Amino acid sequence: MQKHLLLSLFLLLSESASAQMVGTMQELSAERQAVATHIVLEGKALSTAGNSDFRRLRDCCPRLETIDLRRSLCREIPSNALFACHRLKALTLSDSVRLIGPRACYACDGLTELVLPPTLEEVGDEAFAACRRLRLLIVQGTPHLGDLSFAGLDSLREIRLSSPTPPPAEATAFWGLRGKGVKLSVPRGSEKAYRTAPGWSLLFEKKVAAQPAALPNLIPVPTSVLPQEGCLNLKELGGVEANPELANEADHALRILSERTNFCPKRGKARLKLQLDTTLNSRTDEAYRLEVTPSGILITGVSPRAVFWGLMTLSQLLETPDAEARCSTLPALIVEDEPRTALRELMVDPARIFIPLKELKPFVVEMARFKFNALHLHLVDDQAWRMEIKTYPLLTELGSHRVGMDDMPLEISGYYTQEEMRDFVAFAARHHVEVIPEIEMPGHEIAAIHCYPQLTCGARKVPIRLTCGVSNELLCPSEEFVYEFLGNVFRELSEVFPSRYVHLGGDEAGNPPLNCWTHCEKCDSLRRKLGITATDGSENWRLQKHLFDRVIDTLRTRHGKTPMFWYETDFREIPEGCVTFAWRHGLTAAAIRAAQENGRKIMLCPGEHCYLDYPAAPGDMPEVNWGMPVTSLEQTYRLDPAWGFGEDFEKHNLMGVAGTLWSECISSPERLYYMAYPRAMALAEAGWSIPANRSWESFRERVRHQMRQHRLRRF
Ligand code: TNX
């Protein structure tokens, strides 16, 4: 005990007031976790599951720079333990560590040196991948090095090893370091063994041999793929041919060819030809045909967007197992393809945790690979307002900064200026991804109410919300300022987002729903004025209808937009010209019936399949949540967009599929990708491919290949 005290005192004086020495993280108060910069853990056993010592180090210590585990008894660093801890500068492992789990230190890009103790037996897949500043790696034992365990280490200069026999390594352990001149310091006499050992040999390779094209591992699976005789030698490909209306697609084509092949601009005689043919299909403007022959490639599409999807298919055909290897030949084939549903979107939530647009650009590029055609931006919520609205500057001045998301004391700031957003929307459009903005009403609006209290009943002042969940403060339907406010917001929004759609939220407005309006005098008189006499609980829903009707009318008549909203059973009516989203567990059939009865369109993103913010396996991130169910890859894959409702529903009501990435627990761009993939690939196929072509067994094979490609790309 005395030793403990002395050591603590020493640390306090020598390092800084935020140096902490404790047995386990539980002994450290939330306040001290929030400011800790150096932590020494001495615990006999560090916990690895649930709200573990490691989860707290990762999520609850935003200033943490060093972790010292030397005095702890810690056999395992669990998977995702310190995932994307960008601020971490040093990690000292204990001599008792046997296992480092998958992605344990993924993208810990502040680490510059790392010592793996002699006791270590296993380094999991991607355990230190993307630690881009790591210069020196010291391996004292012979652990097995997993798939991509040290991939993408741009700064690595030296690996020092004590073992004369090379630690067993997967072929991809050091992917990205080929020919980078990493110095390998090994015991004398063992150089040759390392030069030829699996995984290690890559460090000595100079040139990448061109690999033959992989078997088609296309996601989403196309309507038909017909193999033909012969193949195209890509060295004979000399360029791209397209009319001016396909200039954007021609640019993409050139980029794909130069990234993925060794084609010979000018010298090669064969061409990649892009062309429009509006007679190809009348059901959708996304149908394309891709033909590879020994003398060239032809992509025909109903629209530029369709041609672009053809290019995305071509890009997948050109993938080789080793991302550094260029594709040299392409087997002849004919692909004919079109989507099953019209709108295939992913939703991201920068309101809870801000996502800079520079991080969202590569996200859009990745979505487009799988033929998603819309990105839905959840721009506002109780926790923040993220979109510049010039009429109401306080929204972003006061509403876009806060510290804290549940137990994570993170400083979360940021908003999108209109100018930046225009640039982003144009970027996405070049990838044929439509950006759909969402402004929530009447609930999930605390950030706006905080800035402009007159938006809620009685102009109550409310603080910005720091936790997840449902709030009871709502926009007041009887306050004229609310309509003026929304009118201005949607007017400015329409000037930034050319999308046909605008999402109005509409979900989870209070608990009990809409009760905020029950005791508001102004709402009382509005109810009287509207002749709402019911007292069965439906009176507030009628007020909500009044609010929605007014806003929907403005959006449709003044801005030509199609409003969207999250379906709540109490809505009953889906107004003309609107699209509803089925999202709640167990209520998809009810939402579909409402869409059918009202003759409206519906998007499917049922919680059972499409909530990509839920953990994909037990114990996976987020390890701590509010009881989110596990939504496995298979579960997502098994989404039937028609929900068993048959052809009539599919033809008249089904609009598409959506995957949501609510961000209460998604605290970094790396985590956003981690939650999205591979499940987004499963969703892409559910939304695009016809049932006759879909099979979980086949998808499982293809997704393995696609995930390898995904991991090898940089975001
Ligand atoms: C419910 S889904 C919400 C969101 C949360 C999400 C968390 C929906 C329309 N509302 O506000 O972020 O659950 O999974």
Please give the Cα distance from 676 to 202 (Å, whole number). 30
The reply to whether ligand 1 has any atom less than 6 angstroms from the CB of 508 is yes
State residue 490's pLDDT score: 98
pLDDT of residue 13: 46
Which H/E stretch holds residue 523? helix 521-529
Q: Which of 381, 434, 440, 685 is catalytic?
A: 381
The tens digit of pLDDT for each residue in 477-514 reads 999 999 999 999 999 999 999 999 999 999 999 999 99
Query: Which domains are present in the chain?
Result: 2-209 (3.80.10.10), 211-337 (3.30.379.10), 343-690 (3.20.20.80)
What is the number of the ligand 1 atom nearest to the C-alpha of 581?
Answer: 9
Q: Please name the residue whose Cα sits nearest to atom 14 of ligand 1.
A: 662
> Tell me: the pLDDT tens digits for 265-297?
888 899 999 999 988 877 899 999 999 999 999
DSSP string, 379-391: -EETTEE-B--TT
- Whether ligand 1 lies within 6 angstroms of the CB of 175 is answered as no
For residue 243, what pLDDT is reported? Answer: 96
Neighbours of 462 (CB within 10 A): 16
Q: Tens digit of pLDDT for each residue in 114-170?
A: 999 999 999 999 999 999 999 999 999 999 999 999 999 999 999 999 999 999 999
Q: Which two tokens stand for residue 89?
A: 């500068």
Identify the residue whose C-alpha is closest to ligand 1 atom 12.
Answer: 662
Q: How confident is the model at residue 215 (pLDDT cuts 50, 70, 90)?
A: low
Q: Which atom of ligand 1 is nearest to the CA of 613?
A: 14
Q: Which of 353, 474, 605, 660 to mutate to test the pocket of ligand 1 (most atoms within 8 A of CB)?
A: 660
CB 432 within 8 A of CB 405: no
DSSP 8-state class, residue 558: I
By the 8 A CB rule, do 224 and 200 touch? no
355-348-475 Cα angle (round to 5): 95
Phi and psi angles of residue 356, each rounded to the nearest 5 degrees, phi first: -60, 150
**Ligand 1: does its nearest atom lie under 6 Å from the Cβ of 565?**
no
Q: Give the residue from 185, 169, 170, 174 showing the smallest Cα distance to 152.
A: 174
Q: What is the mean pLDDT of residues 330-335?
A: 95
Q: How far is the CA of 541 from the centre of ligand 1 (A)?
A: 20
Which contiguous run of DSSP H or E holds residue 307? helix 304-317
Amino acid found at 304: P
How would you class 480 by CB atoms within 10 Å of its CB: exposed for 0-12, middle for 13-18, buried for 19 or more?
A: exposed
- Give the model's confidence band at 212: pLDDT under 50 very low, under 70 low, under 90 confident, else very high: very low
Residue nearest to atom 4 of ligand 1 (CA): 662
CB neighbours of residue 494 within 10 Å: 17
Angle, nearest 10°, between helix axes 669-676 and 679-688? 50
Q: 662 in ligand 1 pocket by Cβ < 6 Å?
A: yes
The pLDDT assigned to 206 comes to 78
Q: Rounded to 5 degrees, what are φ and ψ at 131? A: -80, 80
Pair 442, 478: CB distance under 8 Å: no
CA of 521 to the centre of ligand 1 (A): 30
Q: Count CA atoms within 13 Å of residue 202 on its CB side.
A: 19
Q: Is the dihedral of CA 440, 443, 449, 454 positive or negative?
A: positive
Question: Is 697 within 8 Å of 387 (Cβ atoms)?
Answer: no
Checking if the pLDDT of 14 tops 50, the result is no
Q: Which residues contact 366 (CB under 8 A, 6 or more apart)?
A: 673, 677, 710, 713, 715
Examine the pLDDT at 660 and tell me if it is beyond 90: yes
Check pocket membership of 566 for ligand 1, CB cut-off 6 A: yes
Beta strand segments in 554-649, E? 562-566, 579-582, 601-604
Helix (H, G, I), strand (E, B) or coil at 677: coil
Residue with tokens 């980078």: 180
Indicate which atom in ligand 1 lies nearest the CA of residue 566.
9
* Continuous segment of H or E residues that includes residue 273: strand 270-276
pLDDT band at 18 (very low <50, low <70, confident <90, very high): confident
Do the Cβ atoms of 259 and 325 come closer than 8 Å? no
Closest-lying ligand 1 atom to the alpha carbon of residue 507: 9
Q: What is the mean pLDDT of residues 183-201?
A: 97
How many whole angstroms from 124 Cα to the centroid of ligand 1?
Answer: 33
- Nearest CA residue ID for atom 7, ligand 1: 662
Write the CB contacts of 703 (distance below 8 Å, at least 6 apart in sequence).
219, 633, 678, 681, 682
Tell me if residue 65 is catalytic: no
* 207 pLDDT more than 80: no
* pLDDT mean over 574-598: 97
From the CA atom positions of the chain, what is the Rg in Å?
28
Q: In terms of Cα–Cα distance, which of 702, 643, 640, 706 is closest to 676?
A: 706
The CA 551 to ligand 1 mean position distance, Å, reads 22
Catalytic residue chosen out of the listed positions 252, 432, 444, 710 = 444
613 lines ligand 1 (CB under 6 A): yes
pLDDT at 17: 57
- Nearest atom, ligand 1, residue 349 CA: 12
Decide: 119 and 69 in contact? Cβ < 8 Å: no
Edge to edge, what strands does the sheet with 66-68 contain? 19-22, 38-41, 66-68, 90-92
Contacts of 228 (CB under 8 A, 6+ apart): 292, 293, 331, 332, 333, 334
Q: In whole angstroms, give the CA distance from residue 674 to residue 693.
A: 27
pLDDT digits (tens, 9 = 90+) for 39-98: 999 988 899 999 999 999 999 999 999 999 999 988 999 999 999 999 999 999 999 999
Mutate to test the pocket of ligand 1, among 566, 614, 662 (most ligand atoms within 8 A of CB): 662
CA distances from 400 to 35, 202, 352, 361 (A): 22, 47, 10, 21
Catalytic residue among 170, 277, 336, 508: 508
- Confidence check: pLDDT of 598 > 90: yes
Task: Tell whether ligand 1 has an atom less than 6 A from the beta carbon of residue 583.
Answer: yes
Distance CA(287)–CA(687), nearest Å, equals 14
**Spacing, Cα 637 to ligand 1 middle (Å):** 21
The pick from 508, 583, 587, 603 for probing ligand 1's pocket by mutation, whose C-beta has the most ligand atoms within 8 angstroms, reads 508
User: Cα of 349 to ligand 1 centre, how many Å?
Assistant: 10
**What is the overall mean pLDDT for the chain?**
94
Atom of ligand 1 nearest to the CA of 583: 2
Contact 314, 290 (CB under 8 A): yes
13 membership: H or E segment, kind and range: helix 2-14
Q: How far apart are alpha carbons 47 and 25 in whole angstroms?
A: 9
Confidence of residue 1 (pLDDT cuts 50, 70, 90): very low
**Residue 213: pLDDT band with limits 50, 70, 90:** very low
At 4, the pLDDT band (50, 70, 90 cuts) reads: low
CA of 382 to the centre of ligand 1 (A): 12
Q: Strand 579-582 vs strand 601-604: parallel, antiparallel, or unpaired?
A: parallel
Q: How far is the CA of 392 from the centre of ligand 1 (A)?
A: 26
Is 444 catalytic? The answer is yes
Whether 508 sits among the annotated catalytic residues: the reply is: yes
Q: What's the gap in Å between 662 CA and the centre of ligand 1?
A: 6
Instruction: Please tell me the least confidently modeled range out of 397-401, 465-469, 531-535, 555-559.
Output: 531-535
- Tokens found for residue 553: 């009318």
Report the separation in Å between the CA atom of 300 and the middle of ligand 1, taken as the mean of its atom positions.
Answer: 40
Residue 282 has phi, psi (to 5 degrees) of -110, -10
Dihedral sign, CA of 140, 144, 146, 151?
positive
Please write the tens of the pLDDT for every residue from 692-705.
999 999 999 999 99
